[in-house]
Chains A and B, each alone.
Chain A
Amino acid sequence: MSTGKKSAFAVETRGLTKIYGGRAAVKDLNLRVGEGQIYGFIGRNGAGKSTTLKMISGLASPTQGEVSLFGKPVSDPVVRRRLGVLIEEAGLYPNMTARQNVVMKAKCMGLAEEKSVDLVLELAGLSNTGKKQVKHFSMGMKQRLGVALALLGNPDLLILDEPINGLDPEGIKELRQLILKLQEEGKTILLSSHILGELSKIATNYGIIKNGELMEQITRSELEEKCQDYFQVEVADVRRALPVIQETFPQVQAEVSDARTIRIYGLSEGVEVNRKLAENRVPVYASGFHHIDLEEYFLERMGEDV
């Protein structure tokens, strides 16, 4: 499905705004998803993730702003054929089988080949569901069928909103492997998930949205840098402790977290810090190594403006 001409961004929004009843659900959003990225879109419930993804998919029209996919407007019929979408729950006819649902979407797309239907069912692990109607599927199976529908037509850009909802651990692992495989094939994946631990295993880039505003776009390496291990000491007096640390360990970066806490980055051994502080008569109440994961980072960012 790939076209010869490449654009730097698979998805680019400029000043994207959506207002419902006088309240902005999405405000001046400038999102950029490079081709080949797995972009994790993070935000609380009601932050505007699904609204943004719907506008990117052309299911909702922006109040203001523009959406480009592969450098072309989202309304371009050619570019829309490069798009596979699973937003909110998988839209499925309950009285039909998995295969019939996929055939329906294939007909809707004008795909004549039955092979593509079998292929996506195989990829989603649903090729042997036979005549079982979708209404008898588990939530995980429905979700996988939704992913299968999104994969139909070999799209270059996949937009997946909470794709791992309802999946069991095995299903999550399979979907993770599938997403990584699709990225290896050069596809771009824009996905949102509340399960940040899982997202952090696959995403190459992140965007954090809060109250409809994009707070930050960050690459995995930038995040890793921000989330690096640190040694935290709780002391009686940070004003006395900080110069001791900075003088004794000039190679590390120390920052005051609050009135009693100092975080030291780039340190491999903590015993020496405690010893030096004790030598300088700075009481240490607690100390230890910490690691920020995506979840903590996200919560920290969410809490910043509260």
Chain B
Amino acid sequence: MFNLLRMDLYRMKRSKSVYVCLGIMLVMIVATLGMLWLVDTPQGQKTAVQIGMFTAEDLAEAGDIMAGVDTLVMLRQTSLDGGMYNLVFGIWVMLFVCMDYQSGFIKNMLVVHQKRWNYVASKIATAGIVSFCYLAAQYIFVLLMNKLLGNMASYSSLGDVLFYLTWAWLLTVAFAALVILVCVWTRSVAAGALTAVLLGTGAVQGPLYALLNMVHMGGWMKYTIYHTLDQGSNHYAVPTDLYVYVVGAGFLALYMAVAGIVLKKQDI
């Protein structure tokens, strides 16, 4: 598995897509925080009125939208909670896995590695490393932007940052495992992309929640990757806050196991 991981990391470092996806995430942060600056700071409001983006009345109605917002909330609002992160990250995972099939290089790998679990484990480990780098880079970027824009939000405590980023990371890796499963199963770029778009952004979970709520079962949707990522707590207060880790680890183990079984049964 470590040989495959070394190979995957070698390829990952040389692929453009990993940098393009990071660029998209950072641009989204710049755009969102830029908007907040225009609405929330006196200098920004002045600029917004000057360029005709808002009227003084609009800004008065907006009130203090940054009340209670710290840097973690900023990160969540700009990237993770709405599903933008999983959408972009999921598309990267899809591109990374499907390329093995499209190029045919998977044959070279699986001729050497009879244990096909190694392939799935290596892909998930690579996704985990990339997600860690993405989350860390995004949070550092949020901190820098916050500083640059005049400390609009308060700074979260280190404990909260570690708590949030670890469970968010686990959930994003579980989502990557789902995308890997779909790609391994279907070998289709379209199916992988659809998974990233529909499940990453909550386009399926939303209507499903409404339907299940009709029979009073909507509460179960709290335990989907999308809703957990959206609703999980920023800081640890009570042991039940740890359910986010259980959801992340559970889905990760499930999708990894199914992907391994599917690949084992497939002819290449």
Contacts and interface: CB of A to CB of B under 8 A. Distances in A.
A278 interface: no
Contacts of A77: 114
A81 interface: yes
A87 B268 CA distance: 11
Interface stretch (B44-52, B84-92, B102-110, B159-167): B102-110
Given A54-B267, A95-B15, A109-B112, A59 B103 contact: no
Interface residues of A, number: 32
Contacts of B110: 58-59
A104 B105 contact: yes
Interface string A98-117: 00110111011110000000
A107 B268 CA distance: 21
Contacts of B112: 80-81, 108-109
Nearest to A110: B3
A88 B104 contact: yes
Contacts of A81: 112
Contacts of A92: 103-105
- Give the most central of A54, A60, A77, A108: most B CB within 10 Å: A108
Nearest to A77: B114
Nearest to B265: A61
Nearest to B101: A91
Interface in B93-130: 99, 103-114
Contact of B4 (A83, A88, A108, A149): A108
Contact of A80 (B99, B114, B267): B114
Interface in B4-19: 4, 6-7, 10-11, 14-16
A96 interface: yes
B108 A108 contact: yes
B103 A94 contact: yes
A107 B105 contact: no
Interface string B9-45: 0110011100000000000000000000000000000
Interface string A30-70: 00000000000000000000000010011111000000000
Contacts of A94: 103
A108 B113 contact: yes
A91 B7 contact: no
Contacts of B6: 107
B99 A93 contact: yes
A254 interface: no
Interface string A102-136: 01110111100000000000000000000000000
A255 interface: no
B107 A61 contact: no
Contact of B105 (A83, A91, A110): A91
A15 B207 CA distance: 53
B12 to A, nearest CB: 11
Interface string A126-156: 0000000000000000000000010000000
A90 interface: yes
A230 B27 CA distance: 79
A71 B203 CA distance: 54
B95 to A, nearest CB: 11
A91 B3 CA distance: 18
Contacts of B109: 108
B24 to A, nearest CB: 19
A253 interface: no
Interface of B: 3-4, 6-7, 10-11, 14-16, 99, 103-114, 265, 267-268
Given A54-B268, A58-B114, A103-B10, 6 more contacts: A58-B111, A60-B267, A91-B105, A92-B105, A107-B7, A108-B113
14 contacts: A58-B114, A59-B107, A59-B110, A61-B267, A77-B114, A90-B104, A91-B107, A93-B99, A93-B105, A101-B105, A104-B7, A104-B105, A109-B112, A110-B3
Interface of A: 54, 57-61, 75, 77, 80-81, 83, 85, 87-96, 100-101, 103-105, 107-110, 149
Question: 8 nearest interchain CB pairs?
Answer: A91-B104, A60-B267, A107-B7, A91-B105, A110-B3, A59-B268, A108-B7, A107-B6
